[in-house]
Chains A and B, each alone.
Chain A
Amino acid sequence: MNITELTVHELKEKLEKKELTSYEITKAYTDRMAEKEKDVQAFVTTLEDDALEKAKEMDKKIESGEAKSTLSGIPIGIKDNICTKGVKTTCSSKMLEDFIAPYDATVMEKINNEELINLGKLNMDEFAMGGSTEHSYFHVTRNPWNLNKVPGGSSGGSAAAVAAGMVPWALGTDTGGSIREPAAFCGVVGLKPTYGLVSRYGVVAFASSLDQVGPITKDVTDSAMLLNIIAGKDNMDTTSVERPKIDYVQALKNDVKGLKIAVPKEFFGEGINTEVKENLEKAIETYKELGAEVKEVSLDIAEYALASYYIIACAEASSNLGRFDGVRYGHRAKEYSNVKELITNSRTEGFGPEVKRRIILGTYVLSSGYYDAYYKKAQQVRTLVMNEFKKVLDNYDVILTPTSPTVAFDIGSKINDPLAMYLADICTVSVNIAGLPGISIPCGVDKEGMPVGMQLIGNRFAEETLLNAAYTFEQKIKFREQYKPEFKK
């Protein structure tokens, strides 16, 4: 049995049947990290020793019946923009290179309440800005399917670590596709929940009205299990929403008969790679075979969503990142002769080029005289995007699109072309703009063996429908049994 290839629901079963101990599981993962991390470089901070220590503790608790949950003792990886008390939270930035939060994010508290074991903090694009994890201050993370390709981003470390079997599952964050795109590039499952389903407290903000935490997992069942843990209203986050408690695993029925699927033609047009399109068309056929009703629709607002996304996200980021001024925490410049220089020099040195680009863009669009033309207009477009999606979702259960116009691209190929990098988000950003849930699951590979992701979009708080649609497809095509990452060099 190869432990690191098992899903979390399989690990849980083995723990329950006492076929495995927490220590055996954790040790298998730390061994795998020792073997693969040098190639993949998914982590910013690894916690092998702590994790093994904690695993021993958990085994004792399990033995004595004191374990708090059925998942007690199972490891996890955490994206490095989620605050973890006592462990560095760097956002992959020089600015926070040595920052240790004195508090846990709410999602982290929930993870700790389940007694999951944190294996380490996962690499990302600096402050979650980017789609390739090349914008990390520390190092570039590589795609386990082909080490010369990007893992996607910004949760590239999370997706690569799950794909490489270095963590059984992970938390990511998604502002414009940062969970779904890396999940697609790395052949794993990534879910961005409805805005408001998961607390943002303790998640270092990029764009507050768009950010959501979500699971990156090996399969849909694990995704549902992790969502069960992290979902729920939090009094520390007023944008989180009170909802009846749902068991998302119960929603997985392996049945999509009568499910109404909308396929917006604009997501299959110009700029979409042919092989991606072919794989998606196969997926559509699969759904039809499974008894779903698939119809083509029009969602022509999507291209405007991208423009409004970059205005809103950058505007909010320019304000959210103001607090990194070198005064109370984070990087402080050595050279300064007054307060203004202290702040300017600290920020100049502490932020990377992509972060600076977005701060400048965001500052510009909020400036007096430009506010109406950019920010206000973008918010109006946002309302239109919501309305357009609502119209479609009033008549359909899910919307099916590619997750990304392409498969994972070569490291370095877009790093100097920010516009090309931004365009890669075209399929995912409208979901954030509209506040809807979206999931990416692998639906095939291209000729080079790189995974292709399919995105399903649901109604607000319709994660059950979304997860069941994804699960039923997954059970049919059994992607994980056919394809495995090969760490091609």
Chain B
Amino acid sequence: MVRDGYEVIIGLEVHAELSTKTKIFCSCPTTFGAEPNTHTCPICMGMPGTLPVLNEKVVEYAVKAGLATNCEIERNSKNDRKNYFYPDLPKAYQISQYDKPLCNHGYIEIEDDEGNKKKVRLLRIHIEEDAGKLNHDEYTGGSLVDLNRAGVPLIEIVSEPDLRSSGEADRYLKKLKSILQYIEVSDCKMEEGSLRADVNVSVRKVGDTKLGTRTEMKNMNSFKSITRAIDYEVTRQIDVLEEGGKVEQESLRWDEVSGKTFPMRDKEDAQDYRYFPDPDLVAINLSEEYIENLKNTLPELPESRKERYINEYNLSEKDANIITSSKYLSDLFEEASEVCGNRKAVNNWIISDISRILNEKELEADQIPFTAEHLGHLVELIDKGTISSSIGKKVIEELFENPKEPEEIIKEKGWIQISDEGAIKEVVLKVLEENPNSVADYKAGKERAIGFLVGQAMKATKGKANPQMLNKMLKEELSK
């Protein structure tokens, strides 16, 4: 889609909310969705005289993120103040990290548009506090400040401008999200704003070595909008250049409805944040031992799980990719297989029906409402012959609507397979009696006629007859 002769350069700054129980500088809870200003205290409200105390878990999570993305961990780090005025920023400075971030120079491996492996370099990962939120007051027309989110810990992950298409950006973000979920430092719930990205885009003529002027789209929080916004912005920038114009360096706002970008009114680029080391906080010094210990606690990362699935479980690369793309799916696969002992069946359910339903319902994997036990038990029921796999499909649908033990579902719905020889024989005889023409056709050598007879028998049992038994018995009766 990129016009010939142009190259796209994309860099991403991703903010991920860390899933620590308490805020970064006080002991208020970080849970989402509480009544405004109920998760606050004098410290995160920036009351006079209060002081921050760094939550050690935040450092631990950020270092884990750094280790999982191949970063160098800074042994001597510190916190800096980023000064600016805004009503959602209670201290008028955000405690962040300026020139000594916790993690430097990492990379994440993705596939490029041709399917080749590609390393996307990370410039840095640093820790910082989130700001509060302004809510429009419908009654007075003013703004109300909610400081529940103020002081929630974030990591900012800054990539080098290594991405060359919206597709690469999308794969990079999904990979990053899955890594952060695997190491359990962030739940990356985009709908709750716990993963947001600032997207930097520029274009240049192929062969140019100098980067073009970039624009920045702020605070994007859906994969789809990011892809759309990049594609729009690339086209817009090329149009500007083709018409002999110049791309302005500016911050843009992506409008989902019109599918266009607009310049932000306040020129944030003109801000001077007057960074300086926060004198209220002591330096962050990490020992080799501390880092080594964290390295040892890192769980298996998606790349390594994928290799294992392919080599040990004989999954296809495509299936392994889909399953390991989300820690939730991958855990579901492993746990359900553990329950039923039939890895191949679990794989098939995830790849086909579960993925299809997720797509239809526009759900993320971590929103799957049923448990791995449910899925495992479903596979067992099919393997034991209690239900057929076509009933299984109905059970999966039902599990998304009303998750409970599959056994209960089939009992309630009366979906248990008929494997009783007498009962099946009764149906078979009745079908043969009612369809003498088909019987004659079959006996005259038209073997296809048996398909129709099976269909009639299934219809009569509402799909519950054990298909193997039904086939066998039909043939027996016909050959009499």
Contacts and interface: CB of A to CB of B under 8 A. Distances in A.
11 contacts: A83-B49, A96-B48, A99-B48, A101-B49, A316-B279, A319-B276, A322-B92, A328-B90, A366-B274, A368-B272, A375-B276
Nearest to B52: A238
Interface stretch (B79-87, B104-112, B428-436, B470-478): B79-87
Given A238-B281, A328-B45, A201 B87 contact: no
B48 A322 contact: no
Nearest 6 CB-CB pairs, A to B? Answer: A322-B92, A209-B279, A366-B274, A208-B279, A202-B49, A204-B48
A89 interface: yes
Given A202-B49, A238-B282, A322-B83, 18 more contacts: A101-B48, A103-B42, A200-B49, A201-B51, A202-B50, A238-B53, A239-B51, A319-B276, A322-B91, A323-B46, A323-B48, A323-B91, A325-B85, A328-B46, A328-B145, A329-B48, A363-B274, A366-B276
Given A102-B42, A319-B83, A325-B87, A239 B48 contact: no
Contacts of B280: 205, 208, 238-239
Given A102-B42, A316-B279, A322 B51 contact: no
B41 to A, nearest CB: 9
B330 to A, nearest CB: 39
Contacts of B274: 318-319, 363, 366-368, 371
A433 interface: no
Contacts of B93: 319, 322
A90 to B, nearest CB: 10
Contacts of A419: none
B48 A327 contact: no
B315 interface: no
Interface string A222-255: 0000000000000111110000000000000000
Nearest to B266: A340
B286 interface: no
A458 to B, nearest CB: 23
Given A239-B280, A328-B90, A367-B272, A103 B47 contact: yes
A105 interface: yes
Nearest to A202: B49
Interface string B251-287: 0000000000000000000001011100111100000
Contacts of A375: 276
A322 B87 CA distance: 11
Nearest to B26: A236
Contacts of A204: 48-49
Given A239-B282, A367-B272, A375-B276, A327 B87 contact: yes
A47 interface: no
A202 B52 CA distance: 11
Interface string A76-101: 00000111000001010000100101
B190 interface: no
Contact of B85 (A83, A89, A99, A343): A343
Nearest to A312: B279
A36 B48 CA distance: 31
A373 interface: no
B40 to A, nearest CB: 10
Interface string A316-359: 10110011110111000000000110010000000000000000
Contact of B47 (A101, A237, A322): A101
A150 interface: no
A201 B279 contact: no
Nearest to A343: B85
A89 B50 contact: no
Contacts of B54: 238
B92 to A, nearest CB: 3
A323 B52 CA distance: 14
B341 to A, nearest CB: 52
A203 interface: yes
A414 to B, nearest CB: 28
A319 B87 contact: no
B157 to A, nearest CB: 24
A238 B95 CA distance: 15
Given A323-B46, A343-B85, A366-B276, A235 B92 contact: no
Interface residues of B, number: 30
A322 B85 CA distance: 7
Nearest to A329: B47
B237 to A, nearest CB: 28
Interface centre among A200, A202, A237, A322, by most chain B C-beta atoms within 10 angstroms, is A322
Interface string B434-474: 00000000000000000000000000000000000000000
Contacts of B46: 323, 328
B90 A323 contact: yes
B4 to A, nearest CB: 41
B87 A339 contact: yes
Contacts of A368: 272, 274
A439 interface: no
A236 B42 CA distance: 12
A207 B276 CA distance: 13
A203 B92 contact: no
Contacts of A327: 87, 90, 145
A251 to B, nearest CB: 28
Contacts of B45: 328
B87 to A, nearest CB: 5
Contacts of B91: 322-323
Nearest to B92: A322
Nearest to B37: A328
B331 to A, nearest CB: 37
Contacts of B272: 367-368
Given A102-B42, A322-B83, A323-B92, A205 B49 contact: yes
Nearest to B42: A103
Contacts of B86: 339
Contacts of B281: 238-239
A453 to B, nearest CB: 28
Contacts of B81: 319
Given A328-B145, A363-B274, A237 B51 contact: yes
A105 B51 CA distance: 11
B296 to A, nearest CB: 28
A208 B272 CA distance: 22
A134 B432 CA distance: 111
Nearest to A342: B87
A366 B275 CA distance: 7
A203 B145 CA distance: 25
Nearest to B271: A368
Contacts of A238: 51-54, 280-282
A307 B50 CA distance: 28
Contacts of A340: 85
A148 to B, nearest CB: 33
Contacts of A101: 42, 47-49
Nearest to B53: A238
A315 interface: yes
A96 B87 CA distance: 18
A83 B46 CA distance: 14
A54 to B, nearest CB: 23
Interface in A46-98: 81-83, 89, 91, 96
A239 B280 CA distance: 7
Contacts of A315: 276
Nearest to A327: B87
A201 B51 CA distance: 6
B92 A89 contact: no
Nearest to A375: B276
A205 B280 CA distance: 10
Contacts of A208: 279-280
A355 to B, nearest CB: 14
B374 to A, nearest CB: 46
A366 B271 CA distance: 13
Interface centre among B52, B91, B280, B282, by most chain A C-beta atoms within 10 angstroms, is B280
Nearest to A196: B282
A105 B87 contact: no
Contacts of A237: 51, 53
